[in-house]
Amino acid sequence: MASKLSQVASQTRPMQHKKWPSGRTYATVKLRVLDVGGGTGYSTLGIVKHVDPENVTILDQSTHQLEKAREKEALKKCTIIEGDAENLPFPTDYADRYISAGWVLKPGGLACVIGPLYPTFWLSRFFADSWMLFPKKEEYISWFRNAGFEDIKVEIESPKWYRGTLRHGVIMGCWVTGVKKASGDSPLKLGPKSNTIHNSEGTLSFLARLIPGSFAAAYFVLISNYMWIKDMIYPKGVDI
């Protein structure tokens, strides 16, 4: 993941562009990068290989995880902020690259969201629905478009055995990127943020989530191993 993010935020010499995903070309200027939800700084380690750490900001809600980011030598010169991704402490048209999403980007800036894809196989969908939210590719594109981004691209983050078909039912990751073309605020209006606080759940409620979630986790581990074995058996070039 860190190496892929380093490509998103890459700062290269003139005429030596890196492309990712699907032929997207990245600017050669000195970039200002926001890594929102950066946590321990794992993904940021890839970013600072190509962007001056002084130009990189890590934002996360977790004090504990940010402390781990501060301990990393490569991130010592980064700006590290405890904050909320839904209430960013930055002005409009602020950054060149935003790892997560965002309208604090400058015109021409690139936003990147990393997330899971909804599985295709019926049994996988059943377990996925009982576990957590897994958006479809079309939903990611719709969210970006509604937020005002253009030139939206989706790239699947796949294991080595992946051969271009999604019928296997494994939950795949994806990278969604979009360009902010014009200056100004996002056209998307979300309304007031909910401050609902949920009370501690009881034992039965906890078990009702734990048991299906455990079955789902075990299922996806098994199907991933199954596909890995299948890849070794089937001839290369044949869909699996």
Q: What is the pTM of this model?
A: 0.68
CA pair distance 47, 14, nearest whole angstrom: 19
Amino acid at 132: M
pLDDT at 14: 29
CATH superfamily for 2-120+132-179 is: Vaccinia Virus protein VP39 (3.40.50.150)
Q: What is the DSSP string of the chain?
A: -HHHHHHHT----TT---B-STT-B---SPP-EEEET-TTSHHHHHHTTTS-GGGEEEEES-HHHHHHHHH-GGGTTSEEEE--TTS-SS-TT-EEEEES--S-EEEEEEEEEEEE----SHHHHHHHHTTS----HHHHHHHHHHTT-EEEEEEEE--TT--S--TT-PPPEEEEEEE--SSS--S----SPP---PPPP-HHHHHHHHHHHHHHHHHHHHHHHHHHHHHHHSPTTS--
CA pair distance 192, 95, nearest whole angstrom: 24
Residue-wise pLDDT for 24-35, tens only, equals 444 334 788 999
pLDDT at 195: 59
Q: What's the sign of the alpha-carbon dihedral 174, 51, 35, 98?
A: negative
Q: Is 113 exposed, middle or buried (0-12, 13-18, 19+ CB in 10 A)?
A: buried
CB 55 within 8 A of CB 32: yes
State which residues of the chain have pLDDT below 50. 1-3, 5-29, 101
Structural domain boundaries of the chain?
Answer: 2-120+132-179
Residue-wise pLDDT for 185-232, tens only, equals 788 776 666 655 555 667 888 888 888 888 888 998 998 899 999 999
